[in-house]
Amino acid sequence: MRILLIILLATCLGSLTQAKAQYYDDPKEHQCLKCHSNTSYSFHNELMDREEKRMMNPYYVLDTVAMRTGVHQVFDCTDCHSYEYSTYPHQANLKLEPLATCLDCHGGDETFASYQFERIDEEVQKSVHFDAYGESFNCSKCHDQHTYRPIARTAENVKEIVDYSNKMCLTCHANMQRYEMVAGREKPELVQVHRWLPNQQLHFENVRCIECHTDVTDSLMVSHNIRPKTQAVRNCIECHSGNSKLKASLYKYENLQKRSEGVLGNIISNDSYVIGTHQVPFLQWLSVVILICVLGGVLVHVIFRILKK
Partner 1 sequence: MATDKIYYYPLWLRIWHAINAIGIILLIITGISLQSGVESWFVVPFDKAIDIHNAAGVTVTLNYLLYFFGNMFTKNGKFYIVKPKAFLKRPIKQAYYYAWGMFHGMKAPYPLSEKRKFNPLQKYTYILTMYLAVPCVIITGFALLFPELIIEKVYNVSGIFMTAVFHSALGFFISIFLIIHLYIASIGKNPLDNFKSIVTGWHHVTGNNGSNGTK
Residues that bind partner 1 (CB under 8 A): 217-219, 243-244, 247-248, 251-252, 255-256, 259, 267-278, 280, 283, 287, 290-291, 294-295, 298, 301, 304-305, 308
What is the rounded distance in angstroms from the CA atom of residue 257 to the CA atom of residue 108?
A: 23
**Residue 4 or 268 with smaller CB distance to partner 1:** 268
Instruction: Evaluate the omega torsion of the peptide bond into residue 98 and state whether it is cis, within 30 degrees of 0.
Output: no
The conformation of residue 195, written as its DSSP 8-state character, comes to T
What is the rounded distance in angstroms from the CA atom of residue 125 to the CA atom of residue 226?
A: 10
What is the rounded distance in angstroms from the CA atom of residue 42 to the CA atom of residue 226?
A: 42
Beta carbons within 8 Å of 241's beta carbon, 6+ residues apart: 276, 279, 280, 281
The conformation of residue 90, written as its DSSP 8-state character, comes to P
**Least distance (Å) between residue 4 CB and partner 1:** 54
**Least distance (Å) between residue 278 CB and partner 1:** 4
Is residue 144 within 8 Å of 158, Cβ to Cβ? Answer: no
What is the rounded distance in angstroms from the CA atom of residue 194 to the CA atom of residue 216?
A: 20
**Residue 194 or 252 with smaller CB distance to partner 1:** 252
What is the rounded distance in angstroms from the CA atom of residue 240 to the CA atom of residue 114?
A: 30
Name the nearest CA neighbour of 153 among 204, 84, 222: 222
Is residue 140 within 8 Å of 128, Cβ to Cβ? Answer: no
**Least distance (Å) between residue 307 CB and partner 1:** 8
**Residue 15 or 219 with smaller CB distance to partner 1:** 219
**Residue 171 or 272 with smaller CB distance to partner 1:** 272
What is the rounded distance in angstroms from the CA atom of residue 202 to the CA atom of residue 223?
A: 22
**Least distance (Å) between residue 230 CB and partner 1:** 20
**Residue 226 or 239 with smaller CB distance to partner 1:** 239
**Residue 54 or 259 with smaller CB distance to partner 1:** 259
**Least distance (Å) between residue 208 CB and partner 1:** 16
**Least distance (Å) between residue 196 CB and partner 1:** 21
**Residue 150 or 242 with smaller CB distance to partner 1:** 242
**Least distance (Å) between residue 253 CB and partner 1:** 9
